[in-house]
Structure 1
Amino acid sequence: MDPEPVTAAQAGSRLGRTPATIRKWQERYAARTLGKAERRVYYDYADLATIDACIHRGDHVPETPELRDRLRDSYSRAA
């Protein structure tokens, strides 16, 4: 799946979180960043959504974006 670039504000709006929370996830969980343009950082929405889902369920958040990719893959195979 191709990454979907979103800003902290866009991701926060979609996930019901503040932009500050999204930026904190980059520090705390090494959320995948896709680049910067015009002073904006772009994040991978799927990675942020996986972090949010883990937090919502009370599960451990995998330490790297690659481990979260594997977790998402395991969900789609189980469905």
Structure 2
Amino acid sequence: MGTIKDSFLSFFKDKEMKQNIKEILLPVTDIVYNEIYIYVWCICFFNLFLFIIILVNLFILLRISGKVILYETIHPA
């Protein structure tokens, strides 16, 4: 007698059974996708916005540090 794992593997080896399970799960996956796709888009836009904000901060920091270095060379302490 085989283990539960072996019985599951033999159950899913049949192509017709795989197709039946795909047909059963297709409506569920469609419902889940329709419910969460707006949140996925929000996360993508948030990450893009965050990336742009970080780049702007880096640019401003580089400009400020360049002015500080220039100021220190003109007016040494």
> Could you say whether these structures have the same fold, taking a TM-score greater than 0.5 normalized by the shorter chain as the test?
no
Larger Rg: 2
Of Structure 1 and Structure 2, the greater helix share is in: 2
Considering Cα pairs closer than 8 Å and 6+ residues apart, tell me whether 1 or 2 has the greater RCO. Answer: 1
TM-score by length of 2: 0.22
* TM-score (ref. length: structure 1): 0.22
More strand by share: 1
